């Protein structure tokens, strides 16, 4: 058999595999053979990050099946046959508001009252709980790095030099990476645009900053983003995967601290996922459930992002999406 090397060959193969969804072989031996071949293909195509995510999030399948059973979702879907269903239709059909459980299957919005606190016997949110557990903290940091390895970044599509860094002076703060962990984004910026003047500042909590990547031109700074932002008048205040970790009321606090430090040339760059209203990637739905269960937060749709920015006193000037599948995007926001 000849190898599949051309883009058209691979595209044809994808089409044929999708068509199998509507023509499942009736012969059991053939069906099992296809299942085994498909499973082997998935494993061969997975990146290390894909494999880790598949294994780490497996427990969600059991949990969601239990919830679906509790609210009679499987029977409702079976009765609807092949008819498509919106989430609002299913919410009405399942009458989830009447399920007498602790939160009545409502979306949690309190980051200190989630399954995480119950499971770990703590009143702390996960990020504070991790601070005195260096092994867990290091493992978490390693996972966050590995999960995005090899993927595009906002610098691949957003014209940072043109829209943010024009007419810069060396002493002016250019880029403040708020909650930036050990500094991968700061390092990426310095390597991508080494000649741009202006200060690049990395901020995170003290135990994290202690392990910041040494990089010439990057200033590490211990800072809690729930408190006053000490860097005033920066061109760009950057938040990568921060907003999705917090319910809306906390997001408004975080954004408010930044807004008080901004001047007329400042922008907020929010680097996060913007979910489509339908057909959301399965990996994103896993993350969304994890945000809900661990942090009382969620991955937001475009409508939800615009609503949050409006509630915080911000307007969105521009949105640039740089990963089509996960919908990672840069939101450029300024005060109204």
State how far the Cα of 255 lies from the Cα of 243, in Å rounded to an integer: 9
Beta strands in the chain (DSSP E): 173-178, 199-204, 218-222, 236-240, 267-275, 300-301, 314-323, 328-335
The answer to the question of residue 13 being in a domain is: yes
The answer to the question of residue 129 being in a domain is: no
Say whether both 206 and 306 belong to one domain.
yes
Say whether both 28 and 60 belong to one domain.
no
Neighbour count for residue 210 (Cβ, 10 Å): 12
Say whether both 38 and 179 belong to one domain.
no
The answer to the question of residue 145 being in a domain is: no
Say whether both 162 and 306 belong to one domain.
yes
Residue 107 confidence (pLDDT)? 64
Do 253 and 178 meet the contact criterion of CB atoms below 8 Å apart?
Answer: no
Say whether both 34 and 96 belong to one domain.
no
Say whether both 163 and 221 belong to one domain.
yes
Residue 22 annotated among the catalytic residues of the structure? no
The string of pLDDT tens digits covering residues 278-290 is 778 888 888 888 8
Query: What is the bridge-based pairing of β-strands 300-301 and 218-222?
Result: unpaired
Do 187 and 218 meet the contact criterion of CB atoms below 8 Å apart?
Answer: yes
State how far the Cα of 177 lies from the Cα of 23, in Å rounded to an integer: 50
Say whether both 179 and 273 belong to one domain.
yes
Give the predicted TM-score (pTM) of the model.
0.76
Residue 234 confidence (pLDDT)? 97
The answer to the question of residue 148 being in a domain is: no
Domain end call among 71, 89, 106: 106
Residue 222 confidence (pLDDT)? 97
State how far the Cα of 195 lies from the Cα of 316, in Å rounded to an integer: 29
DSSP secondary structure of 171-221? TSEEEEEET-TT-HHHHHHHHHSTT--SEEEEEE-HHHHTTPPP-TTEEEE
- Residue in 215, 226, 284, 216 with CA at minimum distance from that of residue 254: 226
Catalytic, out of 22, 120, 211, 244: 244
The answer to the question of residue 238 being in a domain is: yes
Say whether both 175 and 217 belong to one domain.
yes
**Cβ within 8 Å of residue 280, ≥6 positions away:** 288
Say whether both 177 and 286 belong to one domain.
yes
Spans of the chain, pLDDT less than 50: 1, 98-104
Say whether both 29 and 72 belong to one domain.
no
The answer to the question of residue 274 being in a domain is: yes
* Domain range enclosing 305: 154-335
Residue 82 confidence (pLDDT)? 82
Residue 105 confidence (pLDDT)? 56
State how far the Cα of 202 lies from the Cα of 336, in Å rounded to an integer: 27
Q: What CATH number is attached to the domain comprising 233?
A: 3.40.50.150
Say whether both 163 and 261 belong to one domain.
yes
The answer to the question of residue 119 being in a domain is: no
Residue 98 confidence (pLDDT)? 39
Do 303 and 319 meet the contact criterion of CB atoms below 8 Å apart?
Answer: no
3-state secondary structure of 63: helix
Say whether both 215 and 243 belong to one domain.
yes
The answer to the question of residue 95 being in a domain is: yes
Tokens of 114: 């989630």
Number of domains forming the structure of the chain: 3
């Amino acid at each position: 058999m000849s190898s599949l090397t051309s883009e058209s060959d691979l595209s044809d193969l994808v089409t044929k595999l999708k068509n199998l969804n509507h023509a499942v072989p009736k012969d059991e031996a053939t069906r099992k053979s296809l299942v085994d071949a498909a499973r082997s293909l998935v494993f061969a195509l997975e990146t290390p990050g894909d494999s880790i995510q598949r294994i780490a999030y497996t427990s969600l399948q059991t949990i969601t099946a239990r919830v679906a059973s509790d609210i009679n979702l499987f029977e409702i879907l079976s009765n609807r046959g092949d008819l498509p269903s919106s989430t609002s239709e299913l919410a009405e059909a399942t009458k989830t508001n009447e399920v007498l459980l602790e939160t009545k299957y409502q979306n949690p919005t309190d980051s200190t009252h989630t399954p995480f606190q119950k499971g770990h016997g703590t009143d702390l949110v996960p990020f504070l709980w991790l601070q005195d557990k260096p092994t867990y903290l290091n493992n978490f940091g390693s996972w966050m790095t590995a999960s995005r390895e090899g993927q595009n970044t906002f610098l691949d599509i957003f014209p940072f030099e043109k829209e943010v860094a024009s007419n810069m002076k060396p002493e002016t703060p250019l880029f403040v990476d708020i909650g930036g962990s050990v500094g991968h984004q700061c390092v990426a910026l310095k390597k991508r645009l080494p000649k741009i003047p202006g200060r690049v500042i990395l901020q995170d909590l003290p135990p994290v900053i202690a392990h910041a990547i040494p990089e010439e031109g990057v200033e590490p700074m211990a800072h809690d983003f729930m408190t006053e932002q000490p860097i005033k008048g920066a061109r760009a205040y950057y938040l990568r995967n921060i907003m999705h970790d917090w319910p809306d009321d906390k997001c408004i606090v975080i954004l408010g601290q930044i807004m008080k430090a901004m001047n007329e040339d400042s922008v907020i760059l929010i680097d996060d996922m913007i979910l489509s209203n339908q057909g959301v990637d399965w990996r994103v739905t896993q993350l969304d459930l994890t945000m809900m269960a661990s942090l009382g937060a969620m991955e937001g749709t475009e409508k939800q992002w615009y609503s949050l920015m409006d509630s915080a006193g911000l307007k969105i000037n521009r949105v640039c999406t740089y990963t089509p599948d996960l919908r990672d995007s840069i939101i450029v926001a300024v005060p109204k």
